[in-house]
A = this chain, B = another copy of it.
């Protein structure tokens, strides 16, 4: 159904038909469709949907839209929405709202739900606590397969996933029981032998990115979250982990392009905010570039004598920057996906050195050929190619080294990317270039 058809049906008050068609929709697609309605239409459609469908769709909607929508709700409607929402989705929605509005909304929900939501709201944004859910299936280790399945049948409908259940004794997590194991064993068998004791678990205060990486590494559906006493307090599910991995990668890319990390949608971020996220690094890098400028201005005599020297500045600077950013990108990404670590430093430098020599020689030869063909000036060809080779080696080693050094110092390796590397390499490159040029042209 297109949004225009939906609007037309709303106009004609065909509420029954709208209900029937929208019931067939996946909540993700439904959220997308509803985002194109105006506030009044949205409020109407939302009330036509079945409560569970409405709540699930709500959890996929944009924050702005959700705020607008919930303002039109009666107390009873707020209560019913929060009863249907998974606690982590409710907390996720509330965490972006003004505190007084949150308090006001939570006045409408029952004490238990309020307690759970408040509990989840206390965790910082980048912690496991902020993405965990408290709706999971606990099993008693003395159960049989049949009684375990019976418990899942009873409480499963309110759990975010039933496929990993957790064997718990006095709140302590004993291990994981997969539904696959329950379903492929006899109903009278005890579940004790099915409890996997070597489970992966995480802590509420762990970094959510580290948790997400465990999902990628082990291919898990959910990971239990435990507190310092080893008691299970929640679970994180794979779909939240995929979201976290995507966001963290976006943030890495932004930092690598000399911006502050920002996961607000591009078109919904106001221009002044975009500018604010970008200008700090630009200023720092611009002023740093004046060092390169200062070096160049020291060699006024050189380019007064051989003006053509100036026209190779862009070529040497750009190539140096590109070489450095190639290396730093590979290392930053390698560190981010845990393929490289600090212990590899020597091997990385050795690799970059060899690559730099190969690439540098290739570029130097191409450069010489170009200069000989165009200017037929052997000395100039020699100067530019020698400077090129030295610049490439310096760029690749710097690009390989800085991200790993940053990691070691507890800084974010993503900061040591193209823009910073370029500025550093530029300075060195211009120094090398004019030193060689001065020597060769005996200026």
Which chain B residues lie closer than 8 Å to A271 at the CB level? Answer: 351, 354-355, 358
Taking a contact as CB atoms under 8 Å apart, the answer to whether A310 and B311 are in contact is no
Which chain B residues lie closer than 8 Å to A292 at the CB level? Answer: 314-315, 318
A242 CB within 8 Å of chain B: yes
Chain A stretch 220-268: residues in CB contact (< 8 A) with chain B: 220-221, 238-239, 241-243, 245-246, 249-250, 253-254, 256-259, 265-267
Which chain B residues lie closer than 8 Å to A183 at the CB level? Answer: 149, 152-153, 156, 162, 179
Chain A stretch 177-206: residues in CB contact (< 8 A) with chain B: 179-180, 183-185, 197-198, 200
In the assembled complex, 12 residue pairs joining A and B whose CB atoms fall closer than 8 Å, in A order, are A26-B200, A216-B243, A238-B242, A257-B328, A257-B330, A258-B326, A275-B362, A283-B362, A286-B319, A300-B310, A321-B321, A325-B418
Q: Measured between alpha carbons, how far is A297 from B313 in the docked complex, in Å?
A: 11
Taking a contact as CB atoms under 8 Å apart, the answer to whether B246 and A246 are in contact is no
A308 CB within 8 Å of chain B: yes
* A352-385 Cβ-contact flags toward B at 8 Å (1 or 0): 0011001100110011001000000000000000
Other A-B pairs, 19, CB within 8 Å; known A266-B348, A285-B319: A152-B183, A153-B183, A163-B179, A163-B180, A238-B239, A257-B326, A266-B351, A272-B358, A274-B351, A274-B355, A282-B363, A283-B366, A286-B319, A294-B311, A300-B307, A313-B313, A314-B426, A322-B419, A322-B422
Closest 6 CB pairs of A and B: A219-B239, A293-B311, A257-B329, A297-B311, A275-B358, A271-B354
A423 CB within 8 Å of chain B: yes
Taking a contact as CB atoms under 8 Å apart, the answer to whether B419 and A197 are in contact is no
Which chain B residues lie closer than 8 Å to A443 at the CB level? Answer: none
Q: Measured between alpha carbons, how far is A362 from B271 in the docked complex, in Å?
A: 14
Taking a contact as CB atoms under 8 Å apart, the answer to whether B266 and A340 are in contact is yes
CB distance from A319 to the nearest CB of B (A): 5
CB distance from A227 to the nearest CB of B (A): 23
Q: Measured between alpha carbons, how far is A286 from B429 in the docked complex, in Å?
A: 14
Taking a contact as CB atoms under 8 Å apart, the answer to whether A317 and B319 are in contact is no
A339 CB within 8 Å of chain B: yes
Q: Measured between alpha carbons, how far is A286 from B385 in the docked complex, in Å?
A: 12
Which residue on B lies nearest to A358, using beta carbons? B275
Q: Measured between alpha carbons, how far is A239 from B221 in the docked complex, in Å?
A: 8
